[in-house]
Every structure is written in C-alpha cells, then in structure tokens.
Amino acid sequence: MRKFVLDTNLYIAALRGREASARLLSFEDETLPRIHFHAVVAQELLAGAVSAERRRALYHAYIRPFDRRRRLVTPSFRAWRRAGEVVSELVERGTFSAGGFSRSSLNDVLLAASCREEGLTLVTANTADFAGIAEVEPFDFAAPWPAG
C-alpha cells in the first residue's frame, strides 16, 4: 500500500480555492493514515506566510496534525548528499543552468531524493519538473489525485 507526501503546490491551491480545497480534503479522507508531511513542504509553506498569524494558521491547519502523529519526513544526510549529486547531474545534462536554478528547484530535488529514500509517493501538480528530476533520480510521483 502506497504512502504519500503532498507537494507544496497542492496546499497552496487549497488555500486559494474552494474546489482545490475540497479535492485535498477528499484525498485526505481516503488516504490520511498513509499521508506524511515533508519538512521541505513545511519550510516552503511557512516561508510564504506574510505574518505571524498566517504562519500559526498554516502550522495548525497543515503541519501540526502530522507532527502530533509523528508522520513527518525530514531529509537525511544521505538524501541531502544525493540531492546535491542530482542537481550537479541536471546541470551537466543542461536541464538546470549552472548557478541559474531556483531555490524551488533545489527543494524539489531534495524532496525527490528524500521520497525515494523513504519509499514515499510524491503527489504533485508539478509533474513536468519532477519527470525531469526522475530521469536522474528515479522515484515514485503522481499527479493529483491518485487512487490509494
């Protein structure tokens, strides 16, 4: 049975629209015991919050439930090291430009390496970028909303 991590873009979409929020809640209803929350996603969500009130709300709505249940994923040193190797290879292949890749791209590679290491399926709306990463770092990812 697959275990999942949800990408930041799905939480942002849920925050911005009722339909996306309903889809997220529906997926969580079906698969919640198998969803884990990734530290990279926490960092990205909290970094985008514009006030202490917003950070608290994001933490309580999305992060705290997983924290309380100890279903958080934090990248290991091995995942960090592998992410560096993957970024280097993506630059070598011309997928990323040397010095021209974004923080978001670095986070995506770390997320991919960590999900592979933990055997987790990343659910993302950003399948094109992750397909490029998977050419170097094969890992399981799916477009929203995969069957359990």
Q: Is residue 148 part of a domain?
A: no
Residues 6+ positions from 117 with CB-CB distance below 8 Å: 75, 76, 78, 79, 82
Domain assignment present for 23: yes
CATH of the domain at 29: 3.40.50.1010
Q: Could you give the CA distance from residue 148 to residue 68 in angstroms, rounded to a whole number?
A: 23
Within a domain: 108? yes
User: Considering the entire predicted model, what is its pTM?
Assistant: 0.93
Q: What is the pLDDT of residues 98-139, one digit of tens each?
A: 777 778 899 999 999 999 999 999 999 999 999 999 999 999
Residue 147 lies in a domain: no
Give per-residue pLDDT as tens, 30-48: 999 999 999 999 999 999 9
Q: Which domain holds residue 134?
A: 4-139
Q: What is the pLDDT of residue 102?
A: 79
Chain centroid, CA 16 distance in Å:
18
Structural domain includes residue 144: no
Supply the pLDDT for residue 96. 80
Q: Could you identify the residue written with the tokens 């890992």?
A: 139
| Per-residue confidence band for 55, with pLDDT thresholds at 50, 70 and 90 | very high
CA distance 3 to 5: 7
| Domain tally, the chain | 1
* Average model confidence (pLDDT) across the chain: 94
- The answer to whether position 146 is within a domain reads no
Residue 99 counted as domain residue: yes
Kindly state whether residue 118 falls inside one of the protein's structural domains.
yes
Give bridge partners of residue 141 from the DSSP assignment: 122
pLDDT of residue 29: 93
**CA distances to 37, 42, 74, 132 from 20, in Å:** 18, 19, 26, 25
Compare 10 and 98 and report the one with higher pLDDT: 10
